[in-house]
Amino acid sequence: MTFVAEHRDLFGVEPILRVLEVPTSTFYDWLARQRDPCQRRRQDAWLLGKIRAVHKRSGGTYGAPRVHAQLRRDGVGVARKRVARLMGAHGLQGAFLRKRWRCSTRQDPTATPAPDLVNRDFTAPAPNRLWVADLSRIGTGEGPLWLASVRDAFSRRIVGWKASDRADTELVLGALEYAVWGRGLDSDQPRLIHHSDRGSQDTAIRFTQRLADAGIRPSMGSVGDSFDNALAENFFSTLKVELVYRTSFRTREEAELELFRYVDGWYRGRDRPCGRPPAQIPACAANALGS
């Protein structure tokens, strides 16, 4: 019918329909529906506008399930299959994994790892009961940038993070200090568990001593098994799918600024102040905030 409408002035409606062996009434019924769309089509057009707005706010990273969840939070009652149909029909899709996962953990064979106190149960009854930590490599034009994070299992927020050009103890210690400073641990609450893999940074004496000084119990999973630290791995997987694999960073400073925007935007809350010690804010991010 679209073809007939586009060529009607050139060949005429009836000659085209005669060649295609389509009844004339079919075309004119279709034309009437285009001029006065039914209620279903009007709803689809309205929903598509809402879907495009959510998809754009996510930076083009949300697929149908997350767009549907956000619409429900916004008070828009719609079936997920309908959202998927409209997104598919208009070429809207979320970010997806394109690169293979690679283990970046290096274990110190002389160190004694802490026992696994979590046993793959990443639930917590309240904030500051279980933190999961990990680090990952991010490629830039200047070389790798390493990111260490600490995530609260109850709120699923990133409570501490730090980026550096070296994957050393200072990196994970900085992320821990950020978390301890920002959360204001209460001495009367049950002891917090800090869960990580068995990387050499986490088994270093300086790091384990800092955990002890803060009254935090260390817990460690195995090396090379993402299920033993699934909640921390989940954050890095989402980060890379939604930001890293879709962006080419020329410098480490550029990458760190984008990480600052992403982590403090999506995993710490856009409507809340940064709450970070001034020494922890990257210079490039401080300049951006000041402007």
Q: In the 8-state DSSP scheme, what is residue 251?
A: S
**What's the CATH architecture for 130-290?**
2-Layer Sandwich (3.30)
Q: What is the pLDDT of residues 110-140, one digit of tens each?
A: 778 888 899 899 999 999 999 999 999 998 9
Non-local CB neighbours of 161 within 8 Å, separated by 6+ positions: 147, 148, 149, 150, 175, 178, 259, 263
- Residue 137's DSSP bridge partners are 146
3-state helix, strand, coil in the chain (%, to 5): 50, 15, 40
Q: What is the pLDDT of residue 186?
A: 62
Burial (CB count within 10 angstroms: exposed 0-12, middle 13-18, buried 19+), residue 5:
middle
DSSP H helices in the chain: 2-11, 13-20, 24-35, 39-57, 64-73, 80-89, 169-183, 205-213, 230-242, 252-266, 283-290
Residue 241 pLDDT level (bands cut at 50, 70, 90): confident
Residue 287 pLDDT level (bands cut at 50, 70, 90): very low
- Residue 218's DSSP bridge partners are 194
Rounded to two decimals, the pTM is: 0.62
CB 157 within 8 A of CB 267: yes
Domain boundaries, the chain: 2-89, 130-290
Q: What is the pLDDT of residue 36?
A: 65
Q: What is the pLDDT of residues 150-170, one digit of tens each?
A: 999 998 999 999 999 998 999
